[in-house]
Structure 1
Amino acid sequence: MKNFFTRANAPKPSAHTPSDRRNFLRNAGLGGLSLGMTFEKLSGRFTTEQELEFITQKVPRDSKPADLKITDMRVAVLAGVPFSSPIIRIDTNQGLVGWGEVRDGASANYALMLKSRILGKNPCNVEQIFKQIKQFGNHSRAAGGVCGVEMALWDLAGKAYNVPCYQMLGGKYRDFIRLYADTPEGKDYDDFAKNMKVRKDQGYTFLKMDFGIGMLADKPGMLVNANNWSVKRQWDEKEMGKLGNYASTKHPFTRIQITKKGLDALVDHVGKVRDIVGYDTPLAADHFGHFDVNTAIQIGRAMEPFRLAWLEDLVPWFYTDQWKQITDAIDTPTLTGEDIYLKEDFIKLIDAKAIDMIHPDLASSGGLLETKKIGDYAEEKGIPMAMHFAGSPICMMANVHCAAATENFVALEHHGVDVTGWEDLVTGMKPITDKGFVKVPDKPGLGVELNEEVAKRFLKKGGTWFAPTDTWNTKDSADREWS
């Protein structure tokens, strides 16, 4: 035992100041514990590992990443944020919790069916797990489960290693993420102008408006072949007509055309909106209705005097050749991609020079890493990336970290601007948005935690609050995609 007291960290024989006395007592205490445990070890009652664990039991540590395991996954569906958003909570054996979000309007079951595939796995192996579960995603809302789980895995990995998600994606290009918001509603143009002043006072410097053939449907002489379609019901898949369901009929197959009178009405409307918004603010456009390539080109050419930031989703994203026709025919930038899952179909559009910009929704495109890969490929080809988003602050922060880490990022959509209590859904950032921007957080993981007290107020009617999901624990099929 002589050598023990001759070590450099041995207790001093005397102490002259209060600080020295405290250090003496602390060191003596530690020495006593070590000495006691050394005797216990010699008697065979303690192992080296137990001794180390005992001595370091009060040393702060974020986690032991190598030993982190997923133990549970539960879901609570929020409504009105601004749409329905299933929030994912993934629990671990070390008490760390990861938050993710299924895309707006998608079923929570898209995520729950993945639970049996991720239980017991180390969430820090994000890409490995993603490759195992990505076969269960598809375009649009069907991707919501895979993407929501991927978000939660990154949140856990960041918390385990005590770094923000953007750092694990390679670092950040910017400290602030620019948002774009919808233009406000208005009873008439004077009312719209008043509401626009509020939007500008909120600090938004990038806007998007909706206009299209739906606003012409009840007006005589403006559309051809529209009478037998429910043109005003672009999203209502339940209403059937004699010619079929307008909402679920792909654009080229409706054979609706716009007349000169209808085109003039759209020009007049966009012109008035543009004058109120002003030309110093980028103004994009979306939701035009279901019509063919020829009508899309006519509308695109008519909008050229207003210098719109982009025309979005004029035809379905998978018609690559039609997109190229439109893009080659007009000068206003074209954009699509909010419903595309994984990078391969973005690559097809980019390589064909079919669009001017890409528009992934991270909750459909594959999550943080896949969306960064999509952005990086577009950047190499000289294509900018805007990002679509319509969910809670959980999903927004996933977008923020990805946008920070991707060089060609332009702006992120924010659909919850006018939702009362939206910013209170999480803790860790206050405010989230400031004058149309989000400061990239430096906290571990996504940088926010769900504020359960507030979030419960948004719980979907009839829904349960992170109820047990044991029925999804057991895997009941083989997943291998090859023989």
Structure 2
Amino acid sequence: MRDYANHEHHRAPERDVRITGIDTAVVSGNFDWNLVRIHTDAGVTGTGEAYRGAAIPEIIDYIAAFLVGENPLDVERLFRRMVQELSGHGGTTGKVVTAASGVETALWDCAGKLLDLPVYQLLGGKFRDEIPVYVDLHAGDAYAVDHGFTQYGDEEAYTPEAYADTAERALELGYDAMKFDLDMPRDNESDPMNGRLSAADVAAKVDVVDAVVDAVGDRAEVAFDCHWDYTIDSAKRLARALEPYGLLWLEDAIPPENAAAQRELARSTSTPLATGENRFRVHEFRELLAEFTVDVLTPDPTTVGGLAESKAIANRAEEQYIPFAPHNVCSPVGTMAVAHLCGAIPNAAYLEFHALEVDWWDDLIARSGSLIDDGTIVVPEAPGYGIELNESVVREHAKHVDDGFFD
């Protein structure tokens, strides 16, 4: 087995730093946000975030056992070490890569602070000062997540008028790009198992899209998300029916595992298609990109392998002239990490924001003003990600905080 532990012994004294601990905190926002903190013998800490949900702190505890004593500046080597050490635990995909992604994003923040540079600079430099954001929306109370699983709202929440009213609100808040969920409870009425849409189901979705597009006019770009729900025949019918509306994209219309099926869907419609959030590491994007099965690529950096892995994926997408619009359901920590990534890649299009309903979202970090202003995020010039946690807010909303997290 390859050994990615540190075998190098020549380093300038000021960069001869060691990891002394890795701690986690789980903050209950609209999802369970997994925050990760790395401590060093230089007194510098780095903070990152892994994708939402269960089991991440336990995996990171396992990772800490072999990363303590390593140099945090060797970010990409340490990511490879995590993957290799966890290879017997499904380490090339799933939750273990998600946990490693959280550690990797914390390492970048730590490295930036140690070297007195913003993370975008460490990733190769800046292409843009501001990152355009699209806001993920739901019509009224159409969709609620408590522990992260699906919980549909009442049928009246899915009227075209409810979607249009929410779109108008987003415009008032300064967003010129937005995305709505297009899956509805009625999709499951004829058969909750087979993923097929009736003609009436497709017509109901077209009515929603028509109402939203009519409401925003040319003031905003609009995308719709299907959450990998439909059979290929239903996805084709839906995508074709939406062709007249000039959508930003239609996202995850079919399940993610079969790249050939995604290619077949792409060949059948002129509606731009987006996918990518359910794939792990650069290897799982090869067929999607090589076969031109997608118009917009949407990996989630906090689950796919971190910032360096995401940059490698973005580079491969750029080779195919495909834009990169990362999926993001993070707290301000993960959101800012991905903003630095988007600042450092040429083909970044939009960054997702998925916490409009969390009125204390900005309070999680110690700063004045909103992180997102008029639909954009300014990439900070301060070292690391340029943000620091607000300890009292973390503790107020935490489901779990390691004893050493704030030490």
Determine helix, strand or coil for the equivalent of 2:202: helix
1:89 maps to 2:37: yes
1:126 maps to 2:43: no
Kept in 2, the 8 Å contact 1:176–1:404? The answer is yes
| Aligned counterparts, 1:56-75, within 5 A | 65-75=14-24
1:318 maps to 2:257: yes
Q: Which residue of 2 aligns with 1:466?
A: 402
1:349 maps to 2:288: yes
| Aligned counterparts, 1:321-400, within 5 A | 321-400=260-339
Shift of 1:155: 0.8
2:139 to 173, 179, 185: 185
Kept in 1, the 8 Å contact 2:19–2:72? The answer is yes
Separation in 2 of the partners of 1:193 and 1:319? Answer: 34
Kept in 1, the 8 Å contact 2:75–2:108? The answer is yes
Gaps of 5+ in 1: 1-62, 230-253, 470-483
| Aligned counterparts, 1:438-453, within 5 A | 438-453=377-392
Kept in 2, the 8 Å contact 1:106–1:144? The answer is no
Separation in 2 of the partners of 1:181 and 1:159? Answer: 30
Residues 389-398 or 137-146, more deviating: 137-146
After superposition, the CA RMSD in angstroms is 2.0
Cα shift readout 1:428-447 (whole Å, capped 9, x = no counterpart): 56321101100000010111
TM-score normalised to structure 2 length: 0.86
Kept in 2, the 8 Å contact 1:140–1:338? The answer is no
Kept in 1, the 8 Å contact 2:228–2:252? The answer is no
What count of residue pairs does the alignment treat as equivalent? 371
Determine helix, strand or coil for the equivalent of 1:95: coil
Determine helix, strand or coil for the equivalent of 2:350: strand
1:148 maps to 2:102: yes
Shift of 1:333: 1.0
Kept in 1, the 8 Å contact 2:163–2:211? The answer is no
Kept in 2, the 8 Å contact 1:213–1:289? The answer is no
1:261 maps to 2:200: yes
Shift of 1:353: 1.5
1:104 maps to 2:52: yes
Separation in 1 of the partners of 2:288 and 2:194? Answer: 25
Kept in 2, the 8 Å contact 1:212–1:289? The answer is no
Separation in 2 of the partners of 1:386 and 1:106? Answer: 25
Kept in 1, the 8 Å contact 2:170–2:178? The answer is no
Cα shift readout 1:128-163 (whole Å, capped 9, x = no counterpart): 111111243443544221001001111111111100
Shift of 1:290: 2.9
**Letter paired with 1:467:** D
Residues 209-218 or 141-150, more deviating: 209-218
Q: Which residue of 2 aligns with 1:212?
A: 183
1:198 maps to 2:169: yes
Separation in 1 of the partners of 2:260 and 2:212? Answer: 32
**Letter paired with 2:171:** K
Kept in 2, the 8 Å contact 1:213–1:288? The answer is no
TM-score normalised to structure 1 length: 0.73
**Structure 2 CA distance for partners of 1:289 and 1:74, relative to 1, 3 Å:** closer
Kept in 2, the 8 Å contact 1:378–1:384? The answer is yes
Shift of 1:194: 4.2
**Letter paired with 1:125:** D
Q: Which residue of 1 aligns with 2:147?
A: none
Determine helix, strand or coil for the equivalent of 1:378: helix
1:410 maps to 2:373: no
**Letter paired with 1:347:** R
Kept in 2, the 8 Å contact 1:111–1:144? The answer is no
